[in-house]
Amino acid sequence: MVNEIKEKVIYMAGHILNEAMVDYREKQHNEVEGIIGVTPYSPHKDKSINDKSKAVQEGLAERILNNDFKAMQASDAFVFDVLNEGLGTIAELGIVLGMKHQAQLAINEIKKTIDTYGYIADDNLDKVYELAFEIVNKPVYCYCSDIRQGHGKPYLDPDRSEFSTNQFVFGMVIALTNGEGFISWEEVKERLAVLGGKNHV
């Protein structure tokens, strides 16, 4: 009997609103594709919605949401390039945060049942608990490819700051990364290698 190892699917989120960024996403996709144990899902590869010159325009917004949302639900981990101009990516960041919050609420409610009865009294609740636990524990790695970010310069005059991430958005980043915030793209790849390696142990 062959023991098949399922590779971890990584949702690669980042804005793709110009040719340079599409090329950058392709480069990143190829780099992640070379990591053992993981498979990247990159929205720019879905030509049915992201080849704007050829995609069927009727119902395009609904298809973009449906395709990307289904891919997010099916992914095992998330990588976000968080740029202020990346509105779709920021919306996806909020979706993942919402998924995790709702999953945690489900876990908390089921734990009340366990505390009351000493066990989960319903097989369906057991499945819900497992799914919610899986969602809460999906890793999220955030970086910012804006070259002005993260150079360590202090700013005494906020009007002279070269760059700042929107603070609500940064709050989401902090929440999704357990307080860590941004890491570098190189660190993202290192962590994906660890994640893929665990999958092949």
Which ranges of the chain have pLDDT less than 50?
1-3
Q: Give the pLDDT of residue 1.
A: 42
Q: Give the pLDDT of residue 64.
A: 87
Q: Report the distance separating Cα 39 and Cα 59, nearest Å.
A: 29
Contact of 14 with 90, CB cutoff 8 Å: no
Q: Give tens-digit pLDDT for 82-118.
A: 999 999 999 999 999 999 999 999 999 888 877 777 7
Domain ranges of the chain: 8-96+140-199
% of the chain surpassing 90 pLDDT:
58
Q: Which fold has domain 8-96+140-199?
A: Rossmann fold (3.40.50)
139: Cβ contacts below 8 Å, ≥ 6 apart: 77, 78, 191, 195
Q: Give the pLDDT of residue 52.
A: 63
Q: Report the distance separating Cα 121 and Cα 114, nearest Å.
A: 8
Contact of 17 with 35, CB cutoff 8 Å: no
Q: Give the pLDDT of residue 3.
A: 47
90: Cβ contacts below 8 Å, ≥ 6 apart: 82, 169
Helix runs in the chain, H state only: 19-33, 47-50, 60-74, 87-117, 123-136, 167-176, 185-199
**What is the pTM assigned to this prediction?**
0.87
Q: Report the distance separating Cα 64 and Cα 145, nearest Å.
A: 24
Q: Give the pLDDT of residue 161.
A: 72
